[in-house]
Amino acid sequence: MAKRFALLSTSGTLTLILFMSFFDNFTQIPMIAPYAASLGAGALMTGWIVSIYSVTNTLGNIAAGVVLDKFGRRLPLVVGLLWAGLAVFLYGAAGTPGELLAIRAFHGLGGSIIVPAIFAMTADASATDQRGRNMARIGAMIGIAAITGPMVSGILRSAWGPNAVFI
């Protein structure tokens, strides 16, 4: 019974962390292009600013497997969360399109360890016959974040202005 509770606690915590990581991104997506334009970015630079997160995140995801296998799961996850948190804080400090591009690249790279770490930790903590169910729950949380993030972004922007989604 204690092992089952520990698994539920671990699984719930990992699911919440994953949800918040994706919620963060899906909340920002509707605001990135207008924010870039407000800093003076043209269409091409705005496209780069929007997409650079995914570029660095994808490259980081590829390296994350090696990092997780070498250093374990927990430390890289904590580093990724702290890194991503710092990046979100930095968005409000961007004063030029180039700075926003650099912050987005930094954010994507820092966040790249989070998802692989959570999937690996979930697999490690799951009995073989429960892995599919646990992975599906995580996938559903990504979907819920994709649905709710942009809506909350609009609410935050309407209530407190465009920078509210970056705090």
pLDDT in tens, 18-71: 999 999 999 999 999 999 999 999 999 999 999 999 999 999 999 999 999 999
161, part of any domain: yes
35, part of any domain: yes
Domain carrying residue 19: 15-166
Give the integer Cα–Cα distance in Å for 134 and 15: 9
Q: Note the pTM of the prediction, 2 decimals.
A: 0.87
Q: Is 163 in contact with 41 (CB distance < 8 Å)?
A: no
- And the tokens for 100? 């926003």
Q: Is 11 in contact with 127 (CB distance < 8 Å)?
A: no
1, part of any domain: no
73, part of any domain: yes
Domain total for the chain?
1
The confidence score (pLDDT) of residue 2 equals 47
List the CATH number of the domain containing 27.
1.20.1250.20
* Letter string b/e over residues 86-114, b meaning 16 or more CB atoms within 10 A of that residue's CB: ebbebbeebeebeebbebbbbbbbbbbbb
